[in-house]
Structure 1
Amino acid sequence: MGDLHPVTIVIIITNVLFSMKGFKDYSFFEKYKFNIGAIRRGEQIRMLSSAFLHANTQHLLFNMLSLFFFANAVIYRLGVVNFVLIYITSLIVGNLLSYYFHKNEYHYSAVGASGAVMGIVYAGILLNPGLTINFFIPGWLFGVGYMIYTIYGMVKKNDNIGHDAHFGGAIGGYLITLFMAPSLLQTSLLMVIILAIPIVILFVLIKMDKI
């Protein structure tokens, strides 16, 4: 993957510092986590701040490792500004989708950079279809597999993971990357179709009222 770009390092450090503060300070964690009731009372800052908090070190590590593997593929193809734009857009779309699904559940809460990171994962796969993780796991397999797991979690609703934010982030990253690089519809059409499959499945399940 080469050396990490400074902007990726800044994002990782910000996530680590913010999350570590949240691990140690319960009131800080509660003040900035994603919470439907608080957001509906006007605390929209939580739509952003919650993406820099994590439930535990494993949660933080998984997200930062995923960002590590896919960030450069986006930065070196689209540039730093577009990378940051994809990250933030995916973060917001992820939390908006989470808000849509849980808007009447005033006690619903969630944390994590998963939405933003999954947007970068999807963007990285589109821009570099041959990307691998640890030199042997295809990036597209990781992305699609994770989205299938996310759909399963959204259907079962038997854990405390914000699966809908993950999915929203992937959708945001997918769409904005195609908008920024429409030539991918010609040069990487197969990958565009493969990554669209979980998104189509999600909308079919919503239409069938399964989610």
Structure 2
Amino acid sequence: MNPILLGIIGTNLLISYKAFQDISFFRKYEFHIASIRAGEQIRMLSSAFLHADWAHLFFNMFTLYMFAPVVLNIMGNISFLLVYTGSLICGSLLTLYFHQNDYSYRAVGASGAVTGVIFSSILLEDRLMIFGFLPGSLYGFIYLLSSIYGMKAKNDNIGHTAHFGGAIGGYVITLSQMPILFVENTYMVILLAVPIVILFYLAKTGKI
């Protein structure tokens, strides 16, 4: 396994395990709007290495393990780290923006960063198939639209905003690192941009 990927997965395992054993550690570093607005910005990073339970941790790390090699092989270690950390930060920033007045809002998980890696791999590999049969571009389009719906409905405990922020991060960072994709994968670039534009339109008009 690539040492960068191994390091990220290992760090998530160690920190999440510590949090499973120590609830005070978990509460100290989870994403919590009131605490962040009081000056504890470290939570915007640390929360991405905490998970709700073993299933949550396994799902995120398994997904990362499946999609990361595409980004690593095409863009290299440094650009992969940029996609991962940039998507993590974008997910936290978008979550803070949309929930800034919900002081009780809490969240944990690497989903934003992992989603960024997923979208980066979709842009980089136009023949990528999700679940063995679903084209990556279609998956990305459906995923973003479902995230917009989830953000608007607010009827579950899924961190749709962090997912969406991570997807935007992976999309923008990958294109900034490899602008040739605008020419080589124009269709996919446009398709994945549509729900992003829709999100910002809904936000600007106060409909989400």
Same fold flag (TM > 0.5): yes
Quick check: 1:149 aligned with 2:146? yes
Give 1:57 deviation, angstroms.
2.1
Give 1:134 deviation, angstroms.
4.8
Quick check: 1:77 aligned with 2:74? yes
- The code of the aligned residue for 2:118 comes to V
Instruction: Decide which of 1, 8, 11 is 1:11's aligned counterpart.
Output: 8
Structure 1 190/154 Cα, relative in aligned 2: closer, same or farther at 3 Å? same
Instruction: Decide which of 79, 84, 108 is 1:111's aligned counterpart.
Output: 108
Q: Equivalents in 1 of 2:124, 2:59: separation in Å?
A: 22
- The code of the aligned residue for 2:73 comes to Y
Quick check: 1:62 aligned with 2:59? yes
Q: Equivalents in 2 of 1:35, 1:126: separation in Å?
A: 32
Q: Equivalents in 2 of 1:206, 1:188: separation in Å?
A: 28
What residue number does 1:166 align with? 163
Q: Equivalents in 1 of 2:110, 2:139: separation in Å?
A: 17
So what's the TM-score if we normalise by structure 2?
0.94
Alignment of 1:1-211 (within 5 A): 4-211=1-208
Q: Equivalents in 2 of 1:164, 1:202: separation in Å?
A: 10
Q: Equivalents in 1 of 2:58, 2:201: separation in Å?
A: 32
Q: CA RMSD in A?
A: 1.4
> Secondary structure of 1:119's partner?
helix
Structure 1 segments unaligned to the other structure (5+ residues):
none
Deviates more, 1:32-41 or 1:14-23: 14-23
Structure 1 205/40 Cα, relative in aligned 2: closer, same or farther at 3 Å? same
Q: Equivalents in 2 of 1:128, 1:176: separation in Å?
A: 15
Deviates more, 1:14-23 or 1:97-106: 14-23
Percent sequence identity is: 57
Structure 2 segments unaligned to the other structure (5+ residues):
none
Q: Equivalents in 1 of 2:25, 2:177: separation in Å?
A: 37
Give 1:68 deviation, angstroms.
1.6
- The code of the aligned residue for 2:98 comes to F
Deviates more, 1:132-141 or 1:146-155: 132-141
Deviates more, 1:88-97 or 1:68-77: 68-77
